[in-house]
């Protein structure tokens, strides 16, 4: 599953850099009016030029794995391009024929210095946290022992602020390891090690002629929740033209399997969950009181029962539900509910029909185990049964499971009793994975509300 996404942090950088450029120019006009009475118009032109030039020349690519010197150079180049374009624009436009040129030099210098200081501060902050062990969260392995693998390992060793830790090397041709990292086995051993040790990322640095090995690795790694990156041969790097590129130093890395939920996106998704969950719980609070009373009045036993499901990164979580049956199968193994299931209590069948049994899962959202929108958490026994038959099924666990989602809105509700139905549900989950945005989550929540009382819906 190859995907490209622009982290929201990058979007904020794009807006802040452009607005800063225009604002500085406008503030300068209070002291010296370089454009006469057209300072506002000039500031708007600068903002538009910045928003076009900076993204076009890769200012906002991922600099997490590159040196600050490289980033400063590209910022300097782009500031110069904006300066030249603006200069040419004002020189040949009638409205700016009385432009004062000297303040323009002050403006471009101040803007460049602020941009550099901003990036240096961010780098220093990340380095401090990395050196103190607070940013070392991403555990990775490297498959390959060639020149590209050595260069990658060397850079990670010299850059603790990147938040990356190498656990070891696979496919080794030497027992001495690379850059101080031990050889853990051959490339065939990598997928099982990644699953057993919950590795966060895998860098494949095999020679270009080892295509069969790469294919086999990608197929096997799809049964884990690890992100997968391809480190191309050195002689191929000049020919790479892809939007899925990360840079480690000067090395382009192709992102093959990754998650949209990293950096600021994680924070925004969590804020979204808390805000929506709070509002929804306020609205459904009468139901949260009435339903437990009805369950107690019509059948003995607990009101809430919990089942083990797969959560983020394949970890096991306890999902909360209102009890709708005469049994509470809360172990790893249980029989899936079907239409006209005799285990349903009278009130339980009604609660289940309208998915009101799912309401306690908003507590799971507050606990941080689930999101409001995401793939539905499948039973552990079902996942273990089908994960070998459906390649890539574990990729849906790279994000938190949700109360509702794509698969629940597009004809894949109901009993999952065939591999075809499960495949369809996973396809929709991966589509959500690729297209995620805050606005998409909002649309799914709104549509869920409108379909909640559709009597034709199947139980799940």
List the beta bridge partners of residue 319.
307
- Measured in whole angstroms, how far is the alpha carbon of residue 81 from the centre of its chain? 32
Q: Which of 258, 232, 257, 225 is nearest to 247 (CA)?
A: 232
Radius of gyration of the chain (CA): 27
pTM attached to this predicted model:
0.66
**pLDDT for the residue 417:** 62
**pLDDT for the residue 277:** 92
**pLDDT for the residue 111:** 93
- Measured in whole angstroms, how far is the alpha carbon of residue 319 from the centre of its chain? 23
State the CATH class of domain 138-257.
alpha beta
**Cβ contact 305:323 at 8 Å:** yes
Rounded to 10°, the helix 39-56/68-91 angle is 140
SS (H, E, C) the chain: CCCCCCCHHHHHHHHHHHHHHHHHHHHHHHHCCCCHHHHHHHHHHHHHHHHHHHHHCCCCCCCCECCHHHHHHHHHHHHHHHHHHHHHHHHCCHHHCCCCCHHHHHHHHHHHHHHHHHHHHHHHHHHHHHHCCCCCCEEEEEECCCHHHHHHHHHHHHCHHHCEEEEEEECCCCCCCECCECEEECHHHHHHHHHHCCCCEEEECCCCCCHHHHHHHHHHHCCCCCEEEECCCHHHHHHCCCCCEEEECCEEEEEEECCCCCCHHHHHHHHHHHHHHHHHHHHHHHHHHHHHHHHHHHCCCCCEEEEEEECHHHCEEEEEEECCECCCCCCCCCCCCCCCCCCECHHHHHHHHCCHHHCCHHHHHHHCCCEEECCCCCEHHHHHHHCCCCCCHHHHHHCCCEEECHHHHCCCCCCCCCHHHHHHHHHHHHHHHHHCCHHHHHHHHHHHHHHCCCCCCCCC
- HSE, side-chain direction, 13 A CA sphere, residue 237: 17
pLDDT along the chain (460 residues), means of 10: 47 86 85 68 89 80 67 90 87 62 82 91 69 64 87 81 82 72 88 89 86 87 86 55 59 76 75 92 91 85 85 86 71 54 74 85 92 86 74 79 84 64 82 83 87 53
List the structure tokens of 385: 């049964």
Q: Is the dihedral of CA 168, 173, 178, 180 positive or negative?
A: positive
**pLDDT for the residue 29:** 77
**pLDDT for the residue 1:** 35
Domain limits, the chain: 8-131, 138-257, 264-451
Per the listing, tokens 């010296």 go with 32
Q: Buried b / exposed e across 8-21, counting CB within 10 Å, b at 16+?
A: bbbeebbeebbebb
Write the burial class of residue 232 (CB in 10 Å: 0-12 exposed, 13-18 middle, 19+ buried): buried
Q: Which of 248, 292, 274, 37 is nearest to 142 (CA)?
A: 248
């Amino acid at each position: 599953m190859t995907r490209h996404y622009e982290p929201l942090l990058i979007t904020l950088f794009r807006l802040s850099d452009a607005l800063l450029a225009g604002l500085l120019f406008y503030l300068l006009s209070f002291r010296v009016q370089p454009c006469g009475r057209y300072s506002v118009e000039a500031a708007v032109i600068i903002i538009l030029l910045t928003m076009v030039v900076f993204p076009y020349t890769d200012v906002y690519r991922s600099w997490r794995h590159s040196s600050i010197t490289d980033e400063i150079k590209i910022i300097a180049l782009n500031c110069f391009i904006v300066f030249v374009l603006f200069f040419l624009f004002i020189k040949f436009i009638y409205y700016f024929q009385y432009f004062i040129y000297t303040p323009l030099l002050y403006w471009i210098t101040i803007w460049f210095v602020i941009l550099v200081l901003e990036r240096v501060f961010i780098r220093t902050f990340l380095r401090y946290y990395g050196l103190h062990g607070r940013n070392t969260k991403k555990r990775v392995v490297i498959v390959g022992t060639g020149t590209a693998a050595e260069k990658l390992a060397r850079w990670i060793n010299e850059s603790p602020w990147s938040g990356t830790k190498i656990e070891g090397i696979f496919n080794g041709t030497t027992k001495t390891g690379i850059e101080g990292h031990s050889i853990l086995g051959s490339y065939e051993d990598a997928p099982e090690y990644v699953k057993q040790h919950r590795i966060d990322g895998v860098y494949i640095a095999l020679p270009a002629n080892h295509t069969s090995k790469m294919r086999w690795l990608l197929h096997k790694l799809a049964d884990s929740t690890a992100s997968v990156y391809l480190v191309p041969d050195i002689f191929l790097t000049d020919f790479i033209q892809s939007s899925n590129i990360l840079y480690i130093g000067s090395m382009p890395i192709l992102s093959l399997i990754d998650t949209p939920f990293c950096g600021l996106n994680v924070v925004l998704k969590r804020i979204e969950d808390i805000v929506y969950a709070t509002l929804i719980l306020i609205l459904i609070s009468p139901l949260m009181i009435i339903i437990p009373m009805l369950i107690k009045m019509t059948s003995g036993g607990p009101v809430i029962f919990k089942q083990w499901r797969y959560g983020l990164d394949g970890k096991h979580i306890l999902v909360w539900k209102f009890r709708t049956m005469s049994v509470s199968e809360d172990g790893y193994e249980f029989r899936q509910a079907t239409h006209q299931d005799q285990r349903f209590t009278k009130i339980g069948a009604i609660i289940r029909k309208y998915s009101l049994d799912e309401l306690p899962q908003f507590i799971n959202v507050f606990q941080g185990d689930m999101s409001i929108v995401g793939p539905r958490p499948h039973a552990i026994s079902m996942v273990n049964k089908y994960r070998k038959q459906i390649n890539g099924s574990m990729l849906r666990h790279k994000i938190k499971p949700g109360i509702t989602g794509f698969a629940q809105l597009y004809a894949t509700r109901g009993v999952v009793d065939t591999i075809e139905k499960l495949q369809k549900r996973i396809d929709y989950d991966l589509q959500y994975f690729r297209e995620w945005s805050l606005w998409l989550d909002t649309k799914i929540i709104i549509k869920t509300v409108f379909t909640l009382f559709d009597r034709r819906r199947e139980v799940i």
